[in-house]
Every structure is written in C-alpha cells, then in structure tokens.
Chains A and B, each alone.
Chain A
C-alpha cells in the first residue's frame, strides 16, 4: 500500500427521483480516498447507498454534485468521449455470477471480449495466449475454454467473471457483493483468489459487502455507510476492536450474537 491516491470522491451527492417532486438522496455529501494497492471495504445494509457510490466512482452514473478524482483528474465532469480511456482502468466483478455472463458465449469469448473491444492484442495468437494466462491466474483448467457458462458451478462462474475483470490489467476493481451468493467453502476459495490476485497484480480493490466477517479477512480499511453517508472509516484493526459510531456497534452486535 502506498500513499499515492488511486481514486477519491469529494463531497459527492446523488439523488434519484421517486415520483412527483420527491427525491431520495442515495449518496449524501460523501468524501473518501482510496490508495494504490489497498483493499477498501464498503459496508452497510441494503439501500444504504454503497452500490450507488461504487457506480458513481466508476462513472457509470453521473453525480449531482461533487468531484470524482481518478489518478489526478476529475472524471465526474468529463464527457463520455473523454471518460472512455478511464473505463479500461476500472473493472467490476458482480454479485450474481450466473446473470453476469452471457449464456450464449463460450468462456474463451467471454474473457477475450474486453481484449477485443480495446484492441490490445495485435494478433489472434497473442489474444489466445493472454486468455490462457488469465485462466491460469484464476485456477481454471484449459478445458474450460470451449464450454458455456451453464456448465460451471457458481464458484467457477465467479472465477470466469474475475478473469474477465482483470483481463485489461486494470488499476482498480470493484467487487460488488461478489461472494455473497456463494456457499461458505466456495466463498473461502474465491476470497483467497482475490487476496492472491491483489498481491500478485498490485490491484486496488473496492470491496462491497454486508458481511463484516468477510470484510475482516480481505480489507485493509473499512468504510461503514448508513443512510447515504459514511458514518465511520478506519483501519480494519481498529474498527473491530474499537468501533466509534453507534451504527458500527449495531452491525457488530448483530453478527456476534452467536
């Protein structure tokens, strides 16, 4: 982990219209910094705005006000044309591995798609090599190449999704509840994989989850969100031993009842 910022949000606000003149403020004046090579976990209950914040950071949606600074440049005000180069450097792994892979594409094509779109490979052979390399990185066998998503288990599908996300050597990956749909034993495998990749590739990772025990394993820093605001942000070690805000205590109580 370095002191260099990879992405930061400054006073970002986003609201959605909910019929009539009413607005729901999903993200309310949020500021946060993420450093290169760190894993920042975003924790909170459903509807607290954590996914919206992730989408804002990736510029998948536009903020109402505030700045998103990626590698020194404010991307929140750039037009679509100028944002595009930054898209390549941010990738996402989704929650439901089944619905995030095209059922009609072979694994080979799924992983190669970002490479094709960005024309990063000069020849077919180079692309093929890269796909095999990626497959190896996520511990899948080469025989997987010519199979379709439905022929894999949930954990394997998530591995394919991860391979696709790291295909372009992004600086930042966002994992939106990427392990919550998996069984515990498979979840442990995927968490290990993410941790290893982060170390090997020097990825920065924004890890969204509602499970504090998972976060404890993977994150360097934890950011707790409630009602569109950040209510606590601290290093992992201190947030579990010494939670400052009431809401964090409440969350910790809910899982330690056992």
Chain B
C-alpha cells in the first residue's frame, strides 16, 4: 500500500446552465500523502472549492462530476465518485471532514455549542450515550483552546467571537478523528493575530492525530505558514505544483510569479505594485490553448493553440507552461 491517502484523478466538474454544462474544473490531478498538509491556491472562481466539495459529495445537484477520487483506506481502495449517497455519508465525519469559511453561518444558532459538537458522535453512533459524548466533547474543546469548556459547553454561537467559533468548527471536524481534514478558506473572516492562532492549531491537530489536510485559500501567507505542498490553480486547471519552499523560492509559472509579486511586502517599498494584467475571466469558458495565455506576460505564440503538458522540474516540482519548457529548465 502506498502512503497516499487521497487521489484525485483527472477530476472534472461541470455545472449545468440552461441546457449546456459549463466546465468549472477541467481535469485535475491531486494527491494527498498521509500526514501532510496540501494547499490549493487560486483566485475566486478558479474551481478550488468545487474540487474540494466534490470529494465529500457536497456539490449542488446541477453539477456533474467526472473522473475518479480514490480513497486509500486501511485495507481497500474505494472510488468516492462511485459511492451511493448513503455510503458516502458514512465516510463524512469518521474519515473525512470539512471546515468552512464563515464560522457564523455554518454553526446552528439555536443549538448549544457542546450539543452541536456531540451531535456528530451521536449520529455516527461512536459513543454509547450522551454522557460519554459530553466527556469527549469537553476534552476536545479544551484541546482546541477554549477555556472553561464545562461552562462553554452550554453557550450559544452568538456568545462566541469569530476566532472561538472557528475553534468550535475545528473541534466539530476533529471529534471523530478523521484521516483527512478539508479546510475551505478557514481564516479569511479572521484577524491576523487570530489567523496565526488558528493556523497553529490546525498544524498541531494534524501532527498530534497524524491527519492529512487540504487547505483551500487565496492567501499566500496561509500557504507559507501551514502547507507542505501546494497546487496553484487557474481556471479549473493546475498550473504549478511543488513543495512550499520550492514554490516560494523558485516560482516558475508566470501566473504563480504574478500572484507572488502582487502581494505587498513589508520592508519593500515600490512606487506601484506589480499586477497581473486583465481580469479573471468568467468561469466556465474552455480555452483551446493555455488558460492563462491572455493575461500572460510572455508572448509565446504556441500557447494560444496548444495546451502545455506538465513539465517535471525536480522530484516535487511540476509546471504546465511552454515558456518554462522553451527556456530549457527541464532537469
């Protein structure tokens, strides 16, 4: 058995609009190794959330998923796309769980914090009775850094601050000790200081429970602080993938370079920031050549007619770009 936990193979997601299907994710390969944190970066509309939601079968009914999602469980490999909803339900919670962007809207405002976390245990029948569930919840609440968990058990979500709510969300996702955690923009709604705490918490949880994670974000700082490897997505395709260190030290794809250089940096005072020219195109358009060619600073003509394949730069660095290929940086 390999040490890969989850594998997306040529995953395509399209959404029905009127009578046709708009391609949102156009063939994506992602591998999540055991115990590692994988980052999925890109701008809004690039399909990063759609890819992640397809893993848990959370897509709207108008969406169509093609390709396969392999889950390498203890003794067997299953294709999640082939599972019935009931079977997939059994996976969500004990095996895979998810944290969403806005902690306020994903918690039930009418339910006590503790009961919400305990609900997961009771639904999956992982505990004998409520008391046992309560004990487990209190133990976990204190682990995610909520002080006085016995008292807080009876609080309602509105009594918590944003950071505390996100901690409850993490506790909820962790209570069944899943093997994979998917976090969709986990810190976008939070302050920088709270962001640092939450990222540290996710990292800690991953290490102590030997859990893998997929972090979806558009924030490069989050990636640099949290992830082991990164996939850069643009318009439903992977543009570049590499280990974190390599990506920040040696970005090769023009899109990655553009993204990294448009972040203002402390200690660096340019007159104007460099930007990626043009706007993000509307999702669902299929290009003949490279998806990025219209906004690319390189004037390679080939890009307009042909789609670049993945070029291997090193053991853990791959890029899909003709310009890189042309410059002969292939090892």
Contacts and interface: CB of A to CB of B under 8 A. Distances in A.
A136 interface: no
B264 A257 contact: no
A155 to B, nearest CB: 7
B193 A254 contact: yes
Interface stretch (A72-80, A118-126, A209-217): A209-217
Nearest to B268: A216
A185 B269 contact: no
A156 B225 contact: no
Contact of B266 (A155, A186, A196, A213): A213
Interface string A155-193: 110000000000000000000000000011111110110
A184 B269 contact: no
A195 B272 contact: yes
Nearest to A48: B191
Interface in A39-61: 45-47
Contacts of B193: 45, 250-251, 254
Nearest to A217: B264
B269 A254 contact: no
B226 to A, nearest CB: 9
B224 to A, nearest CB: 4
Given A153-B280, A192-B273, A217-B273, A258 B225 contact: yes
Mostly, the B contact residues are loop
A117 interface: no
Contacts of A240: 266-267
Contacts of A156: 279
B192 A191 contact: no
A255 interface: yes
A188 B262 contact: yes
Interface string B34-72: 000000000110000000000000000000000000000
Contacts of A253: 196
A256 B274 CA distance: 21
Interface residues of A, number: 35
A228 interface: no
A210 B273 contact: no
Interface string B262-285: 111111011011111001100000
A195 B275 CA distance: 14
A217 B262 CA distance: 11
A217 B269 contact: yes
Interface string B249-268: 00000000011001111110
B254 to A, nearest CB: 12
Contacts of A257: 196, 225
Contacts of B225: 257-258
A183 B192 contact: no
B158 to A, nearest CB: 13
Which of B161, B191, B192, B225 has most chain A Cβ within 10 Å?
Answer: B192
A200 to B, nearest CB: 13
A195 B161 CA distance: 34
Contact of B259 (A46, A154, A185, A251): A185
A191 B275 CA distance: 10
Interface string B205-223: 0000000000000111100
B120 interface: no
A257 B222 CA distance: 10
A155 B276 CA distance: 13
Nearest to A46: B191
A40 B44 CA distance: 30
Contacts of A153: 279-280
Nearest to B189: A46
Contacts of B192: 45, 210-212, 251, 254-255
Nearest to A152: B279
A255 B275 CA distance: 22
A73 to B, nearest CB: 36
A256 B266 contact: yes
Nearest to B272: A192
B218 A184 contact: yes
Interface in A228-258: 240, 250-258
B266 A192 contact: no
Contacts of B272: 192, 195-196
A248 to B, nearest CB: 12
A212 B273 contact: no
B275 A188 contact: yes
Given A183-B44, A186-B279, 17 more contacts: A153-B279, A153-B280, A183-B218, A184-B262, A186-B43, A188-B262, A188-B263, A192-B275, A195-B272, A210-B191, A213-B263, A216-B264, A251-B193, A253-B196, A254-B192, A255-B196, A256-B266
7 contacts: A153-B280, A185-B259, A195-B272, A213-B263, A213-B265, A250-B193, A252-B266
